[in-house]
Structure 1
């Protein structure tokens, strides 16, 4: 099949100059219909886009403090706190309505698989699905597909913005799978005595996909022969360390600020600052380097806090409330 890219598509022409190693057939279900695509696997690395800014200087550091729904990053000229995939606005009420309708349909057509109290029967069960259930399932699948595509695009753009700041990118080692698990301890609310929910960050991680962003950054760095530097979380303890006193202080999740007498510093932005100023061994903070960059960081930090307070995002405003 002849391949004829558009005449003004410089990127496609440059990519097709490399040797084609494989031709892959992809099947995708879009809006309920099966569609097939041909994907060419080229040799080497993808060509650079002329309008993309990439910092090739290894001396420019970028510290990243990534959470379940936000990311803070700090460099010489930029200090920012952003929401992960803000364009990925899923219609969760609509999804919940679809899932409730699916559950009602499944129960009405499979009454033999449920006990009188509504719980599932034990053992191997055979399920029958109505045409209404199948239509709802396709509708739900299409909604999740759109969310996944939009999230991927958003992460690719954010990764490009971070790579434009520096090529020495450092981040804490995070185990997102452990944050998704429910807590084992049973606790009670001090005010009303009710049992607290055991849910943690499963839904937030599923919606914002922080691990995907780190994978994309690492892949883009590999084009330059570099990789993402992961510091030792347990040795560094960036969220607890104070470079002025050299002491570690545990904080609650709700504590968002660090008090430095003259300055109040946002916790996530400060962690990104410390991560970016770690030693080459990646297991401790370089206090001398932090002191040398402290004044510049405070100025950039205050500018970012003023921006966040005017942000339309409720999530970002909560982090600086």
Structure 2
């Protein structure tokens, strides 16, 4: 399945009606969250369920299956299930049946249930209510209920509301829309995005089948990719690449920081009683916050900047991935848990690790986009075993492993000085079948050609001023 995004033409009255429907759906979402929190609290205080849970931790496999069934039945009996939440919200939905459909409400219940599953079975801690300005998507389950998309005139009909989609701006967009709409429609969602002049609305048409392809297939060849928290190094059969991830994101960060300072000054001026003498917020003061009209405009601008920053990072990653799939069909990357790099360090004096870099560069998104694109064009992404491979420590000339500090960006391999990230990518490209070690014979055969491309790339980067001492080493 794939999605097609089309902008909706809306006048003032239609925008007002859409705002009302999003406000209603946000209220329904919060009603579901409140219900789920209440049921989760009931589980925490129920002695029978907690006894089953304690027994499950110490039980063997056969007994665990029985206990799982018992705990599932207990949760269903109190209404804590996907269908339990859908049944509960029926009464609330009756008040707004002229605005939202039953399928849209059911889809929202399903979304809340997925959050509940994270709290029950994964690393989720709490459920959170949503503010109206942060609720931006109304889902769907079919194209016969709720928001219904019409292929013929590119329009959406939704409970008496008729919305026309904007036509494609150029031939490429027109070709993509025409090819995509050849597939059957699964369902249609309504999404909104914040701009400086207010909300803009979009139809997200989810279609069956695969997305249209401009390229027939990936050419055969291996590519090694060493992905860091802020850079990516790529080595293929015929090219070498070393660059920052989303290099222009600093422009957005400067604008965001300036706007946050201005908003903070405005908020403090309008609410002097809400702060202590040392400038911290007075938690005991429960009076309502007062925001000026200028503050509200700046808040919309802030949401716009965050949206633009996210869109830029994704677009930058897509452009890089599109270049990579032209060089080969086998991609080798290290299996990384980027989420773990955000956590506080267990040792040392630093309280945090790479949270800011990960937020600005989004390396996990880069890997996911690479997998998506490679699979669509007949390629594969292989994840090597990071612990056993140790690409940053290996020397294929001596066959030994040597630990080095993170600040050391260059290595000496034989008689050659080599940029560390590019060499790691070269080793990944020459992984053996087990994906646990580099193939030493393959590394020796292609090393001279790699060094030629390596030196040429570094020289070109220096001439263009693309140097970052901390990341590249020059």
TM-score range, shorter chain: 0.7 to 0.9
Matches of 2:284 and 2:375, distance apart in 1: 49
Bigger Cα displacement from structure 2, 147-156 vs 83-92? 83-92
TM-score w.r.t. length of structure 2:
0.60
Question: 1 or 2 for the larger relative contact order (CA 8 Å, sep ≥6)?
Answer: 1
Question: How has the CA–CA distance of structure 1 residues 303 and 125 changed in structure 2, closer, same or farther, with 3 Å as cutoff?
Answer: farther
Deviations along 1:21-46, one digit per CA (max 9) or x if unpaired, are 22222222222412222232222111
TM-score w.r.t. length of structure 1:
0.86
1:293 corresponds to which of 446, 449, 464 = 446
Q: Is the 8 A contact 2:217 2:378 kept in 1?
A: no
- Size of the aligned set, in residue pairs, is 308
Long gaps (5+) in structure 2: 1-149, 155-166
In the TM superposition, what are the counterparts of 1:186-225 in structure 2 within 5 Å?
Answer: 186-187=348-349, 198-224=351-377
Deviations along 1:67-114, one digit per CA (max 9) or x if unpaired, are 111100111111110111224452433322221222223334444443
Deviation at 1:5, TM superposition (A): 5.8
Deviation at 1:169, TM superposition (A): 0.6
* 1:17 and 2:182 aligned: yes
Question: How has the CA–CA distance of structure 1 residues 297 and 165 changed in structure 2, closer, same or farther, with 3 Å as cutoff?
Answer: same
Question: How has the CA–CA distance of structure 1 residues 180 and 157 changed in structure 2, closer, same or farther, with 3 Å as cutoff?
Answer: same
Q: Is the 8 A contact 2:198 2:300 kept in 1?
A: no
Deviation at 1:248, TM superposition (A): 1.1
* 1:133 and 2:295 aligned: yes
Matches of 1:123 and 1:246, distance apart in 2: 64
CA RMSD of aligned residues (A): 2.5
Residue 434 of structure 2 is matched in structure 1 by: 281
Residue 27 of structure 2 is matched in structure 1 by: none
In the TM superposition, what are the counterparts of 1:139-154 in structure 2 within 5 Å?
Answer: 139-154=301-316
Q: Is the 8 A contact 1:82 1:316 kept in 2?
A: no
Residue 190 of structure 1 is matched in structure 2 by: none
Matches of 1:169 and 1:273, distance apart in 2: 12
Deviations along 1:99-144, one digit per CA (max 9) or x if unpaired, are 1222223334444443332334456955513123322222221112
Residue 55 of structure 1 is matched in structure 2 by: 218
Residue 254 of structure 1 is matched in structure 2 by: 407
Matches of 2:284 and 2:439, distance apart in 1: 58
Radius of gyration: which is bigger? 2
Q: Is the 8 A contact 2:230 2:244 kept in 1?
A: yes
Bigger Cα displacement from structure 2, 30-39 vs 302-311? 30-39
Deviation at 1:199, TM superposition (A): 4.3
Long gaps (5+) in structure 1: 188-196
Residue 42 of structure 1 is matched in structure 2 by: 207
Runs of 4+ in 1 over 6 A off after TM superposition: none
Bigger Cα displacement from structure 2, 265-274 vs 169-178? 169-178
